[in-house]
Amino acid sequence: MSTVVDTGQKLRRPRASGPAQGGSPLVWFVALIVVAATLGPVMYAVLGGFRTNAQLAESPAALPNPWVLDNYQRVLTDPTFWRYALNSTVIAGITTLIAVVFGLMAAYPLARYRFRWREPLYMVFVLGLLFPATVAIIPLFVIITGQLHLGNTWWGVALPQAAFALPVTIIILRPFLMAIPNELEEAAFIDGASRIQVFWRIIVPLSGPAVVTVGVLAFVASWNAYLLPLLLLQGDMRTLPLGVADFSSQYSSDTAGVFAFTTLAMIPALIFFLAMQKRIVNGLQGAVKG
């Protein structure tokens, strides 16, 4: 079966699958429904932020009339919003950096060395995929707050998140590193390079695309994470998802304010993640196929 697919990819030419070139009315109709159902709730939140609570209560399904900027202004001038955004950014940044650096380092010998414990060592990380963070969440809370004294800190959230991102990182990176031609390494060794130099000068630059993929996956997971921050972070240390959830339960009657807060919390991530859409899809496919 795979051979069939391979030849297809080699002989790829402009797609012309299905007799209906372009869109038939049915296709356009389905596309329209999908777009409306997908964007409807998001647009409603964005527009709802431009309305007053009185407008929302009077006719929930109407457009802003008049448009008010007050809700967005209030959120944007609220220092706690920026504080949450900072926390989210720093935690996602640390998580990504550690997961990518440690993951790439670990994937290198697991891909390109031969030693007796290579496959068992690899399996240790692969098995990590089977353990969702939820399973370990209570002991993690106890260990991080009680023993490591990292409760309510950036590192306390970032380190376990990076650890749980390692399996996917290593599983995606290993086959990629295996595919790098051996001649490059050999040539460097002949020129007297050490292993670490080879890693730094050859492997790291060549693994760029795969590193971006695993980096985006780690960043997205951390940026959207809720459960671990919920247990570990309070007050000023909260991240945007915690801020959004708390804001919405604290000011649940201020619907317009909730919409404005939520919209502003999702926009930067939305732009970044949509730009990285292809990487995320590829990564998710690769993560399970192995």
Report the residue number, 76 or 121, with the smaller CB distance to other proteins.
121
Minimum CB–partner distance for residue 73 and other proteins (Å): 20
Q: Alpha-carbon torsion 238, 239, 245, 251, what sign?
A: positive
Report the residue number, 34 or 69, with the smaller CB distance to other proteins.
34
Minimum CB–partner distance for residue 67 and other proteins (Å): 18
Residue type, 158: A
Report the residue number, 64 or 273, with the smaller CB distance to other proteins.
273
Report the residue number, 23 or 82, with the smaller CB distance to other proteins.
23
Report the residue number, 210 or 258, with the smaller CB distance to other proteins.
258
Minimum CB–partner distance for residue 87 and other proteins (Å): 14
CA separation for the pair 167, 283 (Å, rounded): 12
Buried (b) or exposed (e) across 101-123, using 16+ Cβ within 10 A? Answer: ebbbbbbbbbbbeeeeeeeeebe
Minimum CB–partner distance for residue 271 and other proteins (Å): 10
Minimum CB–partner distance for residue 147 and other proteins (Å): 10
Q: Alpha-carbon torsion 271, 272, 275, 278, what sign?
A: negative
Segment 226-231 long-range contacts (CB within 8 Å, at least 24 positions apart) = 227/133, 227/134, 227/137, 228/133, 228/137, 228/140, 228/157, 228/160, 228/161, 229/91, 229/157, 231/137, 231/140, 231/141
C-beta separation of 96 from 218 below 8 A: yes
Minimum CB–partner distance for residue 72 and other proteins (Å): 16
Report the residue number, 76 or 284, with the smaller CB distance to other proteins.
284
